[in-house]
Every structure is written in C-alpha cells, then in structure tokens.
Chain A
Amino acid sequence: MNTMASSPTPLLELKGMRKVYQTVVANDHIDLCVLPGEIHAVLGENGAGKSTLMKMIYGVTQPTAGKLFWQGQDTNISNPSQARKLGIGMVFQHFSLFETLSVVENVALGLDNPPKLKQLAQDITEISNRYELPIDPFRSVHTLSVGEMQRVEIIRCLLQEPKLLIMDEPTSVLAPSAVRKLFETLRQLAAEGCSILYISHKLDEIQALCHTATVIRSGKVVATCTPANETPQSMARMMIGKDLTAYKHQASIPGETLLKISGMSCASNDPFGIHLNNIHLAVRAGEILGVAGISGNGQKELLYAISGEELVSQSDAIQICGVNVGKMNARGRRQLGLSFVPEERLGRGAVPEMSLQDNALLTMIKPVVVEHGLVQSDKVRAYASACIEKFDVKCNGPQSEAQSLSGGNLQKFIVGREIMQDPKVIVLAQPTWGVDIGAALFIRQTLLELRNKGVAILVISEEIDELFEISDRIVVMADGKLSPTKLTQDTNVEEIGVWMSGLWPETDQPTALAAV
C-alpha cells in the first residue's frame, strides 16, 4: 500500500508478510498500514488468516518472509514481551484469566514488572474510571460476567499505555449494550491517539466503528476500503468472493408440542455452574424457538438436561414426543427422535482422534448398523459419505480425522449428521459459532427447511441477529431463569438486549408457555 508523502508516518506497516505452516500458506504477501489514532479493521472469514497475521504482529509466531515497520523502523518482533515494550497490546478472543484469583492478581500476572498489588489496584481503578470500564480490582474473576472479564483484559493492556491495541473478535461474547459501551471506549482510545486493529467478520460493527478495513481472503489481501462508503453486501462480497443467496422465512402453523420442560429446577454440580430455576419451555412441531442470552447464564446446564448428558430427578420434568425422559440417557432420547448439536465440537460433538466415519457412528440410530453387536462399517461409511456430500464438508473423505477439519467444516458435518437422523426434535447450541458466512447461511437455511417439514427446533445462541432471522418465538435466559416468550415479530433487539441482563417484566404465566 502506498502512503502519500503528506501522510504522517504509519504506526505500523507490514510489507509482504508471509507465513507458511508445513504445507499450508496461512498468510501470503500481506501488506497492511495502520496510521496513528486509526481504527483499522481486518476483515475475513474464519480461516482466512487474520489470527496468524495478528500473532506475527504480537510476536507469538515469526513470519516466514516479509518486513514489519514500527513507526517507520524495520523491526523484528521475536516475542510478545518485546511487542508489549514497543507499545503493542492484544486482547485475545479467549481470555487467559485464572478464575480463582482476583482481578488485580490476574492483571499482575500478565505484566512483565508488576508494581505492588495496592498500587496496581489504584492504577486499575484510575484506568477504569477514565475509560468507563467499571471493575472492582479485588473481585474474584469467577464472579465476573464475560463482558467484565473482557474489561479486565482491556485494562491489562491499557495499563501499559499501548500505541496499538489489537482486539480479536471482541464482540463475540458481548450483549448489544455492552458492545455499544466497548465501541465508546475504543473511540475514546483512538481519539487519544492509540491505533486499534479490530479483527472481526461482523460487517455492521465494522461499518459502525472502523475508519479503514483490510479484507483478507485465503491468506491474501483482496481489498482495502473505507467501510463508511461500503454496504454490508459489498463488503461481504469482498470477504467471501461471491454473492450471498438470501433465504426466506415463511410463516408456518406450529403443530403439537414435541419438547416440553415443565418446572425444572436443578442445582449444578460445577462450583462455577449456574443453578436452573423453575424452567418452563415448550417447542412445537414446525417452529423454531430461539433462546437468547449471554453464555454462562444456565444455557450449558439447560442443554445437558435436555440432551440427557445430565439426568434430572423428576422423570416428567422433560418430555420428548410425549414421553417422560428426565431419567433417560442420551441414546434413549435419540431413539425417541431427538438430535442435538452441542456447542463444543471437538471432544463432545466429535471425537477429535476418530475418523468422520466413526464420528457418524457416534450418534447413529437410523439406519440400524449394529447387528449381533457388530458394526456394519460399509453402511456407516456410506452414511458418512452422504453427509459429507450433502453438506459440502471439505475433507479427505470419511476416513479423515475429525480434528483435521476446520471448525466450520466440522460443524457442517455434525449438523448434517444430526439432521440426517431425521429427527422430530433438534436442539442446537451456537449452530454457526465460528462458522464462515457462507456456511452459516447454509446451516440457517437448512434449519428453516427442517422447520417447514414439521420438526421442532430449539436454538440457543449468543448471536441475537441470528435468532431474529430464524426464530418464530424468542425467549431469554439469564441467571438460570427463562423470560416470558415473545413472538419474534412482537419484539426487537433492544428489548431482548435489556432482558438479557435479567430485567424482564414478571408475569404470572409459566414462562415460555405463554404462546402455546
């Protein structure tokens, strides 16, 4: 990229950055230029090479080729400590905090030369006041919400007075109101002269926040643009290289209730878990019920109870197709027609070391492939191959190990595997989490088709927009409780966003049954 002679010296300039992992070219000749005080978006689908690029800037990995200029100087950043000394801070997508320690202890652990805890606590309070990031430095991290944890990570960076702050998909864990708050903080930082590299695949956010965007596809820079001059569609086209096909949400007439939870309460075994409190919920044939909410509010526990991975003491607290299943294990519930896509793909939804074929066998009830205790592997292979083809899973055939697939492709395989079981009820947790736009669209489209065929669908997602796109009704989960249900057309993102913090009007009706 050329900077004009009159422009200020770029804070950071990358020229021809290239990173090769064994046989995979993760970054190929990437040029990037960040000016002081600029909020610069790096936009790309999952697997496009955004994270690799950030890791090279932060010194986590070394480039195979290319040059990095920091304030005009040719610089070689060999480790994160050196990056921090230069003035580069990074907030990772996955936090690195110790749950049992307090905020100030966690911050101290992340600093190269931490001051005394008391002094540090004062510094934290000062920063948190200046940037409106309220946090009590002496609280234990496990009592914090995800948004607050992110604040801790940001404060940890700000304490070092960075010139460049790298934010990796920061809004994936935040409620809408928290997103607005974060943006204000970031704008304030930029106004003070700190540059921000903002990594995301959410187009609306980039339009709202960023001055410039560099679009990466398959490890290469495909465009640099000014988001304010673009439309989400035009940026999406740059990002995925083709037009997206839109889908239709037709009205449907829901049938009988196929999944019903009545008055379920259960205490979590996990010391940091959430206790479920008097949950009522009903999903009918031919409808999609969306459960909104910030994760860590009981979604995990609710899913365990529905799937049968955790049994509940009252057999009739959960009914699938009219059968009491509270004490039935997961396989039994599958036999009744339940399919389930969990949030964790590797290690729960799929065994990482096993082939796709074996992972198909994991939840296979139909067609029957076990005779006299022996597995008919040719039938399983055919099923896995059909799933790979039908759901466009990119892999080296049914023998590929699950862990060799990218997150999005594995998700397509798992969703496909569950759908091909011809379920009456399907429950999905974060169905498009970490999945690229094309695949996410495909998965949503498939869910709508299933709904039109009369399947009862429960979707638990943090992506509020996704829920509004596909759900017929929406309910919010907060602190182990469920809000009243709303028809999607009768509510809006604002209202649901408020409810996500647990502030919904009390009603006498059992929640979620309101519309039944």
Chain B
Amino acid sequence: MLLKFEKRPVASELMRYISPVLSIAMTLACGFILFGLLGKDPIKAFEIFFINPLKTSYGISELFLKATPLILIATGLSIGFRANVWNIGAEGQFILGAIAATGVAIHFDYHPKLLLLTEMAIAGMLGGMLWAGITAFLRTRFNTNEILVSLMLVYVAQYLAEWFVHGPWKDPDGFGFPQTVLFTENALLPTLFDGLRVNLSLLVALFFLVIAYIFIFKSFSGFKMLVSGYAKAASRYAGFSINSSVWLGLLAGGAMAGIAGMTDVSGPGGQLTAHISNGYGFAAIIVAYVGRLHPVGIFFSGLLMALLYLGGEQAQHYLNLPASIGRVFQGMLLFFLLGLDILVQYRIRYTGFTRKEA
C-alpha cells in the first residue's frame, strides 16, 4: 500500500474545523463537473445556483425563512447527537408539531394573536416531544434501536397528517384538495420587514440557539449528556443516568422539530396540507453535522443548506434541471464531510511499497 491511515495521537482540532470548509469546496468542485456533464455552462450554472438567490433583499429574506426550520431542528438534534442518541425521525416530529399547532390554530382562532401564537408554539413542541417520547420510551424500556423506531414513526406521522387533511380537518370550501382551511390572521407569524416573508420564527430560532449554547457548554445536564456520548462506562462510573440522557436528547430534538413544524404551518403557507413533509427533518441532520453540532456552526450550515434548496429551485426554473439537483448537492456535502471527518482522527501517510503487517 502506498498510502495508509495512521491514527493521530490527539484528534486534530484544526481538521475538525477545516473539514466542513473543505467538504463545501469539494461539493462545489464536483458540482462544477456535474453541471459540465449535464451540458450547462458551469460558470453560468454556478451563478444561477449560488448567486442568483442572494441578489435581492427578497432573496435574502427567503434564505433566512428557509434556514429557520433547518436551524431549529438541527439545534434540537445536536443535543441528542452529542450524547450519541440517534434521532433520525425529526421529520415525523416536525409533522406532529405542525398537526398539533394546526389543531390549536383552527379550534381557538378567536384567541388574541399573542396568546394564540404562544399556544400554537407550545402545542407544536408538545406534539414533537410526544412523537420523540415514543422512541425514548421504547429505547429506555425495551432497549429498541432509536434509529429504526424514530425513522419508522416518520411514516406513521405522514399518514396521520394525510388522514387529518383528507378527513376531519379538510377544508369544506377547498375544492376537494387535501388541506385545512387557511389560518386566520391571528394564527400567522408576523413578518419582520414589510414586503418580505421572513418572520418572527427567525428570532425564535436565534433564541433557541443561545439556549442550546448555554445548555451544551455551561449546564451540568449538558455535561452529563456529553459524558454519556463520549464514554458510557465513565457515565455509569460517575452515576449519570444514561436513560435520562436518552430522554433529554430525544425530547430536545422532538421539541425543536415540533416548533419548526409550527412555524411552517404558521408561516407564509398558513395551513396544513398533505405536503407538510418536505424533508427538512432529514436535511437538518446534515445541517447539524456540517455545523459540528455547535450552535454557531449550525447557524451557518443552516444558511448554506437553505441556499442549496433555493439554488435547486433556481436551477429548475432557469436551467431546466430536475428539482433533485438540490438534493444531489446536499448528499455530496454530507458524503464529503463524513469522509473528511476521518482526517480528524487519522492522517494519511505515504508508506512506499513495503508491505505492513498488523
């Protein structure tokens, strides 16, 4: 073997931060080739994909609007991921949050705006926590695998949402479309700037980023979760309950995904539709990892992921490329990041042609 991976004596702090940047660069490089192979002028395609969405204040507002649920969900997930609690079902928790918030919005539409929005936010969080709680219960009680359970519950949640919009909550005046009534003004999040769609939820996301920062780096509970993520035996030795880490990790993810679901129905859409499941819950996993499970990193990676979404839409409109081009970029980003993360723990060494024996 010419090259071999050699474990670093100490994990490289530098590589930990370089690897996301490098993976973005490699994604762009591969995108460049991809556009070329698709017969598009790569420079022009890049401009349309990455620059066009940011040219106007409207575009910037859309970027933040799109990034908000991603940041919210990724923030919640990062709490669990740090403790090795693998909540893959944020998509389902997002849907449950949306359903719960919708229930409040259409049944209590006579409440004053501030009260109603607060109730919707709480309902959304509880909905997401309920869904994540099922996974936590099964994991702590029966030792089921949280990856499988949380993932499978996504499909249950999708059917549940469809049942609501086809059944009890179907808009009688909706020409048979699977959707609820449009929410009243009181149930809609106020926008931050006139004429732009970015709304209050952005501030909510920033607020939770700060909370998450304090929880992860300053609180004793956050410390306990970190220990259980690094070394289970040390956690037991210290007397920290692993089950409470599982509960806390899943409930934090569920609550944040739930409130993200609330901001989705309460935002520009203003209703629950059968298309509530839009993949944010899965994209947020990438956001969490590209952001190094760190609140500040998640903020920027959320914006990046939102740009990939918007760029994908632009590419669809102006380049005649399929919508999945955005997904391809997301996939490449995660792929390169996970690949490059090996370099945090290992380095590549040139060994020449001598055969080595383990």
Partners in one complex: yes
Evaluate contact between B227 and A354: CB separation under 8 angstroms: yes
**A351-B231, A354-B230 given as contacts; is B237 within 8 A of A342 (CB)?**
yes
Evaluate contact between B231 and A373: CB separation under 8 angstroms: no
Give 4 nearest A-B pairs by CB, closest first.
Answer: A331-B239, A330-B239, A348-B233, A79-B357
Q: Report the Cα distance A80→B355, complex, angstroms.
A: 11
B218 close to A (CB within 8 Å):
yes
B223 close to A (CB within 8 Å):
yes
Evaluate contact between A361 and B239: CB separation under 8 angstroms: no
Evaluate contact between B219 and A362: CB separation under 8 angstroms: no
Evaluate contact between B357 and A332: CB separation under 8 angstroms: no
Chain B residue contacts of A308, Cβ below 8 A? 239
One of A79, A80, A348, A403 near B10 (C-beta < 8 A): A403
Evaluate contact between B230 and A361: CB separation under 8 angstroms: no
B356 close to A (CB within 8 Å):
yes
One of B220, B230, B233 near A344 (C-beta < 8 A): B233
CB nearest to A83 among chain B residues: B357
The 15 sampled A-B contact pairs (Cβ below 8 Å) are A309-B236, A329-B239, A330-B237, A330-B239, A340-B237, A347-B231, A348-B233, A351-B231, A351-B234, A354-B227, A354-B230, A374-B220, A375-B218, A375-B223, A404-B9
One of A333, A334, A347, A377 near B234 (C-beta < 8 A): A347
Distance in Å: Cβ of A511 to nearest Cβ of chain B: 27
CB nearest to B234 among chain A residues: A351
Distance in Å: Cβ of A416 to nearest Cβ of chain B: 16
- One digit per residue, 1 when the CB lies within 8 angstroms of any chain B CB and 0 when it does not, for chain A 210-241 equals 00000000000000000000000000000000
One of B11, B227, B357 near A362 (C-beta < 8 A): B227
Interface residues, chain B, with chain A CB atoms under 8 Å away: 9-11, 214, 218-221, 223, 226-227, 230-231, 233-234, 236-241, 354-357
One of B11, B231, B241, B357 near A81 (C-beta < 8 A): B357
**A375-B218, A404-B10 given as contacts; is B236 within 8 A of A330 (CB)?**
yes
Evaluate contact between A352 and B231: CB separation under 8 angstroms: yes
Chain A residue contacts of B354, Cβ below 8 A? 78-79
Chain B residue contacts of A309, Cβ below 8 A? 236-237
CB nearest to A404 among chain B residues: B10
Distance in Å: Cβ of B127 to nearest Cβ of chain A: 26
Chain B residue contacts of A79, Cβ below 8 A? 354-357
* Other A-B pairs beyond A344-B233, A352-B230, A404-B10, 14, CB < 8 Å: A21-B9, A309-B236, A329-B239, A331-B239, A332-B239, A347-B233, A347-B234, A348-B234, A349-B234, A353-B11, A353-B230, A362-B238, A401-B10, A404-B9
A6 close to B (CB within 8 Å):
no
Chain A residue contacts of B230, Cβ below 8 A? 351-354
One of B9, B221, B238, B357 near A331 (C-beta < 8 A): B238
Distance in Å: Cβ of B236 to nearest Cβ of chain A: 5
A22 close to B (CB within 8 Å):
yes
**A81-B357, A347-B233, A354-B230 given as contacts; is B239 within 8 A of A373 (CB)?**
no
One of B218, B227, B355 near A351 (C-beta < 8 A): B227
Q: How many A-B residue pairs have CB under 8 A?
A: 76
A458 close to B (CB within 8 Å):
no
Evaluate contact between B234 and A350: CB separation under 8 angstroms: yes
Interface size on A, residues (CB 8 A): 39
Q: Report the Cα distance A358→B357, complex, angstroms.
A: 38
A363 close to B (CB within 8 Å):
yes
Evaluate contact between A373 and B234: CB separation under 8 angstroms: no
A109 close to B (CB within 8 Å):
no
Chain A residue contacts of B233, Cβ below 8 A? 344, 347-348
Chain A residue contacts of B357, Cβ below 8 A? 59, 79-81
Distance in Å: Cβ of A332 to nearest Cβ of chain B: 7
Evaluate contact between B9 and A22: CB separation under 8 angstroms: yes
Chain B residue contacts of A374, Cβ below 8 A? 214, 218-220
Q: Report the Cα distance A21→B230, complex, angstroms.
A: 27
Distance in Å: Cβ of B352 to nearest Cβ of chain A: 11
A411 close to B (CB within 8 Å):
no
Chain A residue contacts of B239, Cβ below 8 A? 308, 329-334
A295 close to B (CB within 8 Å):
no
Evaluate contact between A362 and B241: CB separation under 8 angstroms: no
One of A331, A344, A358 near B240 (C-beta < 8 A): A331
Chain A residue contacts of B240, Cβ below 8 A? 331
Q: Report the Cα distance A331→B223, complex, angstroms.
A: 15
A493 close to B (CB within 8 Å):
no
Q: Report the Cα distance A358→B224, complex, angstroms.
A: 10
A409 close to B (CB within 8 Å):
no
Q: Give residues of chain A (54-80) contacting chain B, Cβ–Cβ below 8 Å.
A: 59, 78-80
Q: Report the Cα distance A2→B16, complex, angstroms.
A: 51
CB nearest to B222 among chain A residues: A375
Distance in Å: Cβ of B348 to nearest Cβ of chain A: 15
A208 close to B (CB within 8 Å):
no
Best-surrounded residue of B9, B218, B237, B357 (most CB of chain A within 10 A): B237
Q: Give residues of chain A (322-357) contacting chain B, Cβ–Cβ below 8 Å.
A: 329-334, 340, 342, 344, 347-354
Q: Report the Cα distance A309→B227, complex, angstroms.
A: 15
Distance in Å: Cβ of A425 to nearest Cβ of chain B: 15
Chain A residue contacts of B223, Cβ below 8 A? 358, 361, 375
A307 close to B (CB within 8 Å):
yes
